[in-house]
Chain A
Amino acid sequence: MDKPFAITLNVGSSLANKTGSWRTLRPVYLDRLPPCNHACPAGENIQNWLYHAESGDYASAWRALTMDNPLPAVMGRVCYHPCETACNRGQLDEAVGINSVERFLGDEALKRGWKFAPPAAESGKRVLVVGAGPSGLSAAYHLRRLGHRVKIIEAGPLAGGMMRFGIPKYRLPRDVLDAEIERVLDLGVELELNRKVTDILAEMREGSFDAAFLAVGAHIAKRAYIPAGSAARMLDAVSVLRSMEGDEKPLLGRRVVVYGGGNTALDVARTAKRLGASESIIVYRRTRERMPAHDFEVEEALQEGVLIKWLSTIKNMADQGTLTVEKMLLDEKGFPQPTGEFETLEADSLVLALGQDVDLSLLDKVPGLAIENGVVKVGPNMMTGYPGLFAGGDMVPSERTVTVGIGHGKKAARHIDAWLNGKTYAPAPKHELAEYDKLNTWYYADASKTVRPMLSLARRTSTFEEVVKGLDETNALFEARRCLSCGNCFECDNCYGVCPDNAVIKLGPGKRFEFNYDFCKGCGLCVSECPCGAIKMIPETI
């Protein structure tokens, strides 16, 4: 076309005008730390495995999850999900059911027989793990994947620690536990049962271990001074729950009183119900709000008919099973104070659930350790005062949960691995947090949380069948898709679509986006309209 000069212009000529020179601020893509990841004691990259689950690629999701945690089917049942408490969606409608999806993925893996990939190479090092509880198993798993030879020595008859001997079956079915433990061992982890380590240093020398991770847990029940008649049946919660694993179930009688306010107390009370107790009563010195047990467990217990006596302490127990109970009142500081008012309570047995202590005898001959409040202090690298001796789980200062234990195991494994190679493990610096105000929540569809189905009350109190069921695939997928993907691009194409200057380059599925700084004017629309807060503006260098 013979175009007239200046009046008519060729397509593409505007690309000579680099409007990027107008900017004073420039947008950059960044990954922010999702609050769920941040809150997870096991350090799971939750947003990442949910991302895979959203597309229905459960295998990839499971693999991503098990990079950090080898026991998802267990965790999906017993974890107290601080991730959900931190979940940003909770400020929008309700938190994403992360725990439910984790359980779904764990169960799916078991159903389909997915296995862990073996280590790429052998390091030639040997590491000893003492205790086959969650912390020990986690450490063993991670160490093995790093190519080290691992042996676990467990004092009990079965692996699992508190998962087996503390958490009731109605919360964690044993076949699930067994399968997940087996899968860890299948990586080539050696397990010796029924042997208690008494001298750790000797053990290490005899076994030619290059390092050791101790995770013996806290299995000694705390006691309180309660005068009791010689025939009074007073037990401790740890042994009651432990004995549930054997063939002989504990005989608690028709009226069972449990003394204490933690989750263990509730576990015992609910177990008692299932064993046939017509009355299962928890006696706790403070109020429900002050109870250390998780509220949903209290709720489930109450639904099952467990009774709770608040603001009460037990003074003594007579032979016939009569308990003297003193009423308490909270003072202005929240501490319970005796009122001098008493009452009696009939009980066939009294179970004390007053906390647990650690058996530290294996450390008797180890110099340089710092032991305080009955637990072993460790550095940020999970190492005790003795070089090469690492520890984690309930035996070190920590919140005592399965998840924390698993987290310790992973962290310790990494540090052990570095230490064995004469290096230090320095975790990558954390990204800034993906706070709620960084999101543009308009873009998320309205979707209420899926509630997990529960076993009917009648069946709950008569069997040890799992009380809380898992989600089916449709619901799990729906739940996963409620994730806001905080701080991490999930390729919604918004930035690509809202730029008035067509200055966002779409790189293709899975490859995210790039800014075309030749033309970006720095208006910031991309930042405003990014639903998950994965873009921010920084000053332009002039």
Chain B
Amino acid sequence: MKAKPIQDSAMEMQPIKFYQTATFTVGNRLLGEHERSVQANMRRTNSLNSGHRACQGCGEALGARYAIDAAMRASASQLAAVNATGCLEVFSTPYPETSWQIPWIHSLFGNAAAVASGVAAAMRVKGREDVRVIAQGGDGGTTDIGFGCLSGMFERNDDVLYICYDNEAYMNTGVQRSSATPPAARTATTAAVGSAPGNVFGTGKNVPLIAMAHRIPYVATASVANLRDLEFKVTKAMPIRGSRYIHIHVPCPLGWGSAPADTIKVARLAVESGLFPLFEAEHGEIVNSTKIRRKVPVDEYLSLQKRFAHLFAKPGDSTRIALIQAIADHNVKRFELLA
């Protein structure tokens, strides 16, 4: 299953040893600046600045700043971003305020990938290939309505890094189900009532795997709970020419019914339970996976979110929880998530 990485071993993330917090914290006063994360730097871009209207504890706002700041550093601040319609766009640019500190354009819901392809083409033709292009959107804009344009971009191998912020539903319009919504989750269009409460246990739609099927140079999944891993992947993706795709898991306290202060904790549990595997692929082959540090059963993750509360209401839906656990177990095996 695993292929040898095409890049040399220097591209592996080097964990910091011997320091209190290794690579788990954002920074460390005992480390040199170059060994810390981009976020630790006082001169980080703050691509998504204060004053935006995201909810308290919004995982997407955090993920966006993490990703774009890392991209700005990797591209020496030569970057333009294209945003799909969705939470990120709406809460960041309500006239007359914008929180973006970088060149940024919002066109429509389903065309971020195509618009970005156009921006990249223009940069190329103008001899400004040093200006890199990022397209970003939520799971709705990526896995559903934007899917055609995304696939077209992949097939042409357009020089764009597409970042999907996956909060597993159409949050901006009121928490409706998308093809990224996990099984059993309650949304506005998959109510937690009846004999099969919450979202269906369907075939799912794994866009990272679909991206891999296009054999584009680089595909990765990341989480707001693991900043260093996320930054590593963005930094690795930026200098590559051609289509790249990064899928970031971002909890939504409002939609998921979790406490705003728990956003990172919930994201961490998703990774540690195996439900959200962290891996990298190059040209269609998986080359690396980030190992689970302390494995937990899916219950620990699910029980923090009201969108799964119906699974725990008396007498408890052990059947469905077991099915979800099976998904996690399958991921652990498939992506070799345990050391």
Contact = CB atoms under 8 A, between A and B. Distances in A.
Does chain A touch chain B in the assembled complex, meaning CB atoms less than 8 Å apart?
A: yes
Interface of A: 6, 9-19, 22, 54-55, 442-445, 478, 481-485, 490-494, 496-503, 506, 508-510, 516, 518-519, 521-525, 527-529, 531
Interface stretch (B5-13, B98-106, B146-154, B215-223): B98-106
B284 interface: no
Interface string B70-111: 000000000000000000000011011111110000000000
29 contacts: A6-B96, A9-B93, A9-B95, A11-B100, A14-B49, A14-B51, A14-B92, A14-B99, A16-B51, A16-B96, A19-B50, A55-B29, A55-B30, A444-B20, A445-B17, A483-B20, A484-B20, A493-B40, A497-B27, A498-B62, A499-B62, A502-B50, A516-B50, A518-B50, A524-B56, A524-B260, A525-B260, A527-B261, A531-B21
Contacts of A516: 50
B20 A481 contact: yes
A532 to B, nearest CB: 10
Contact of B29 (A10, A442, A491, A524): A491
Contact of A492 (B28, B46, B48, B97): B28
Given A491-B27, A497-B227, A481 B53 contact: no
B22 interface: yes
Given A55-B29, A482-B20, A528 B264 contact: yes
A522 B26 contact: no
A129 B333 CA distance: 72
B33 to A, nearest CB: 10
A48 B58 CA distance: 35
> Nearest 6 CB-CB pairs, A to B?
A493-B27, A497-B26, A524-B261, A14-B51, A523-B56, A523-B57
B227 A18 contact: no
B25 interface: yes
A517 to B, nearest CB: 11
B101 A11 contact: yes
Nearest to B27: A493
Given A15-B50, A502-B65, A10 B39 contact: no
B260 A14 contact: no
A19 B53 contact: yes
Given A15-B49, A18-B51, A524-B57, A497 B37 contact: yes
Contacts of A10: 98
A523 B21 contact: no
A11 B30 CA distance: 34
Nearest to B38: A497
Contacts of A522: 56
Given A17-B52, A500-B61, A525-B261, 12 more contacts: A9-B93, A11-B100, A14-B50, A15-B50, A16-B97, A492-B20, A499-B62, A500-B59, A502-B46, A508-B42, A521-B57, A523-B261
A503 B51 CA distance: 9
A17 B227 CA distance: 27
A445 B22 contact: yes
Contacts of A499: 62
Contacts of A19: 50-53
Nearest to A524: B261
A17 B53 contact: yes
Q: Which of B29, B58, B93, B263 has the most CB of A within 10 A?
A: B29
Most chain A beta carbons < 10 A, residue from B19, B49, B93: B49
B209 interface: no
Nearest to B264: A529
Contacts, number: 159
B251 to A, nearest CB: 11
A182 B38 CA distance: 50
B233 interface: no
A493 B56 contact: no
Contact of B25 (A54, A492, A509, A521): A492
Nearest to A484: B20
Contacts of B191: none
A54 B97 contact: no
B51 A54 contact: no
Contacts of A506: 42
A481 B30 CA distance: 10
Interface centre among A481, A483, A503 (most CB of B within 10 A): A481
Label chain A's interface by main secondary structure: loop
Contacts of B28: 491-493
A14 B27 contact: no
Contacts of A11: 98, 100-101
Interface string B170-205: 000000000000000000000000000000000000
Contacts of A483: 20
A521 B59 CA distance: 14
B54 interface: yes
B49 A502 contact: yes
A492 B50 contact: no
Given A491-B29, A508-B42, A444 B24 contact: yes
Contact of A442 (B93, B98, B268): B268
Given A14-B51, A442-B268, A492 B61 contact: no
Nearest to A516: B50
A277 B48 CA distance: 77
B262 interface: yes
B98 A494 contact: no
A485 B57 CA distance: 26
B39 A496 contact: yes
A519 B253 CA distance: 19
B98 A13 contact: yes
Contacts of B236: none
Contacts of B19: 445, 481
B114 to A, nearest CB: 20
A296 B39 CA distance: 46
B291 interface: no
A11 B18 CA distance: 41
A317 to B, nearest CB: 57
Contacts of B244: none
Given A14-B49, A528-B262, A500 B21 contact: no
A510 B30 CA distance: 11
Contacts of A519: 50-51
Contacts of B59: 500
A496 B29 CA distance: 13
Contacts of B26: 492-494, 496-498
B177 to A, nearest CB: 24
A513 to B, nearest CB: 11
A493 B31 CA distance: 12
B265 interface: yes
B98 A500 contact: no
B36 interface: yes
B261 A490 contact: no
A500 B58 contact: yes
- Most chain B CB inside 10 Å of its own CB: which residue of A13, A485, A494, A500: A500
Nearest to B63: A500
A101 to B, nearest CB: 14
B25 A443 contact: yes
A15 B65 CA distance: 16
A262 B57 CA distance: 56
